[in-house]
Amino acid sequence: MKHIIMVGAGAVGGYFGAHLARHNPNVSFLLRPKTQAAVAKNGLTIRSAIGESFTVHPQSSSDPQALPPPDLIILGVKAYDLDEVMDQIEPILKPDTAIVTLQNGVTIEDTLKARFGRERIIGGVAFIYSKIMEPGVIDHYKKGMVTIGELMGLETLRLTDIAGVFKTAGIPCFLSKDIRKAKWEKMCWNCVFNPLAVLVNDHVARALDHPELQPVITTLVREVSAVAMAAHRVPLDDDMPQKVVKWSQELRDIHTSMYDDWRAGRPTEIDFLNGYIVKRGKEFGIPTPMNEMAMALIKAITEVGSPGVPAIHVEGELVQPLHLTHTILRELPDLHQVADVEGVGGIQGIGVKFQAILDVVTLKVGVDHVTFYSMDGKFSVCLTLQQAKDFGILVYGKPDGLFPTERGGPFRLLTPGLGDLCANVKQVGRIVFSKGKGTDTRPPQACPEEASV
């Protein structure tokens, strides 16, 4: 395996790819432009809590044809990026280029096989806990090993060669004669603890330590096992629920990748995990109510709505961050709705009093300020909680639709009674609650807090 391309430099691809590049000058990276620029400038850095920290400066590009023709391609990107990646790598494949996937989910190998042929594809499972701290910087906390296997279960020469590449880089690599079973076993874990970490908004330990959640864990795994058998003829052990719990004990203090993606505002892989179980369950007549509930709750928590729908992100010192759309604001109680806003600059529109938002959110103890940020982050206004409660109105629409951008929409803050200069933010994109004063781009004399009452 002379030339190797690692696709992606995130939590998985960045960690394994950096180790490979450290020991092999023929490892290059196919990256998104933002990450590629960071790696080209500063290198790819691994900061490890359990091993050595280091920086490598590998060849990288956002154009696959700018990289050496690969003998091996390792996919370290998210499952939802697979279609785009396949389009990128297809022109650079040599007749004998092998593709190893280290992605979550059980559909990846079949999708690659349908596009590029069975003979190219090698299944893989990654076991690691790491996070993207910024483009080109990965923090590593636990584990860091892979299992790979041919789809037909053979122990081929190329399989042992690839394992040797990983081992030479100091990465434990195990060979599996049943890589599909290994993928489904990890699928069981992913379908349990990825969504549960989001739902409990905490580490794996919180899900493990509540006896009430044990039946939930068992049911999730049983549903996954039933689909594994029906869809792929992969029999999982009867004690899989107990195994999943046991495997998790040494991972008690971690957040899962889905949790990290959610908190960072990135898409989750829910459609490739619990969503896939629900879809295939329906095809085979297998009830999957627990996975369906997990999928629905994750989508409700992590997805703002349809792409392109404007939303305000509400965050800061809250028990749970929220997203507010035009539809959500319109459905808040009538007593807080302002049907005809007449404010700064002759604005006319539909708004809602800020008190309605205070009724929706759950503040942490001690919160006393709230800051309104424009979508581009250039402008902000910080009010005391009392000011916002007494005077704040969020304009969100007109009788026939959204509030127009040319008037400061789709969301605009007005504070009649405090004055134009005191608080008027166009195109509000974020609302942040805080203990103490937040960022304010207005002149200090604009609105002294003493004037709040």
Q: What is the CATH number of domain 182-302?
A: 1.10.1040.10
3-state SS class at 119: helix
pLDDT at 377: 82
Task: Give pTM, 2 decimals.
Answer: 0.71
**Measured between alpha carbons, how far is 150 from 139 in angstroms, rounded to an integer?**
30
**Measured between alpha carbons, how far is 386 from 388 in angstroms, rounded to an integer?**
5
User: H or E segment at 168?
Assistant: helix 157-168
- Stretch 313-337: mean pLDDT: 89
Inter-residue contact 311 to 304 (CB < 8 Å): yes
As a whole number of angstroms, the longest Cα–Cα distance in the chain is 78
Residue 308: pLDDT over 90? no
Inter-residue contact 188 to 225 (CB < 8 Å): yes
Reported as a single tens digit per residue, the pLDDT across 226-284 is 999 999 999 999 999 999 999 999 889 999 999 998 888 788 999 999 999 999 999 99
**Measured between alpha carbons, how far is 1 from 171 in angstroms, rounded to an integer?**
16
Residue 311: pLDDT over 90? no
- Stretch 400-423: mean pLDDT: 81
Helices then strands (H, E): number in the chain? Answer: 15, 21
Looking at the chain, how many residues does it have? 453
Task: Extract the tokens encoding 305.
Answer: 């709505």
Q: Where are the domains of the chain?
A: 4-177, 182-302, 311-452
User: H or E segment at 328?
Assistant: helix 326-330
Burial class (CB in 10 A: 0-12, 13-18, 19+), 286: middle
Verify cis geometry, omega within 30 degrees of 0, for the bond prior to 195.
Answer: no
What DSSP string describes 252-321? TTPPPHHHHHHHTTPPP-GGGTHHHHHHHHHHHT---HHHHHHHHHHHHHH--SSTT--EEEEEESBSS-
pLDDT at 305: 54
Equal fold, 182-302 vs 311-452: no
**Measured between alpha carbons, how far is 58 from 13 in angstroms, rounded to an integer?**
13
pLDDT at 342: 66
What DSSP string describes 199-217? HTTS-HHHHHT-GGGHHHH
pLDDT grade for 48, boundaries at 50, 70 and 90: very high
Amino acid identity, residue 392?
G
Name the residue with higher pLDDT: 170 or 423. 170
**Measured between alpha carbons, how far is 278 from 282 in angstroms, rounded to an integer?**
6
pLDDT grade for 392, boundaries at 50, 70 and 90: very high
Percent of the residues in the chain that have a pLDDT greater than 90, as a whole number? 77
pLDDT grade for 10, boundaries at 50, 70 and 90: very high
pLDDT grade for 400, boundaries at 50, 70 and 90: confident
Q: Give, as one character, the DSSP assignment of residue 112.
A: H
Reported as a single tens digit per residue, the pLDDT across 331-383 is 898 899 998 876 544 667 899 999 999 999 999 999 999 999 998 888 899 99
Reported as a single tens digit per residue, the pLDDT across 136-191 is 999 999 999 999 999 999 999 999 999 999 999 999 999 999 999 999 999 999 99
Inter-residue contact 431 to 321 (CB < 8 Å): no
- In which residue are the tokens 């989001």 written? 198
Please give the C-alpha separations between residue 332 and each of 123, 131, 337, 429, 430, in angstroms, as whole numbers: 49, 37, 7, 19, 18
Inter-residue contact 362 to 316 (CB < 8 Å): no
Cβ neighbours, 10 Å, residue 362: 9
Percent of the residues in the chain that have a pLDDT greater than 70, as a whole number? 94
3-state SS class at 72: strand
Task: Extract the tokens encoding 99.
Answer: 């593709």
Cβ neighbours, 10 Å, residue 426: 17
Reported as a single tens digit per residue, the pLDDT across 98-133 is 999 999 999 999 999 999 999 999 999 999 999 999
Inter-residue contact 112 to 135 (CB < 8 Å): no
Average pLDDT, the chain: 91
Residue 289: pLDDT over 90? yes
Residue 21: pLDDT over 70? yes
Name the residue with higher pLDDT: 423 or 200. 200
Task: Extract the tokens encoding 27.
Answer: 């490892």
What DSSP string describes 350-377? EEEEHHHHHHHS-BPTT--EEEEEETTS
Q: What is the CATH number of domain 4-177?
A: 3.40.50.720
pLDDT at 348: 76
Task: Extract the tokens encoding 94.
Answer: 């040599």
pLDDT grade for 49, boundaries at 50, 70 and 90: very high
pLDDT at 306: 52
Task: Extract the tokens encoding 131.
Answer: 């996070």
Q: What is the CATH number of domain 311-452?
A: 3.90.420.10
Residue 452: pLDDT over 60? no
Residue 4: pLDDT over 70? yes
Q: Give, as one character, the DSSP assignment of residue 418.
A: T
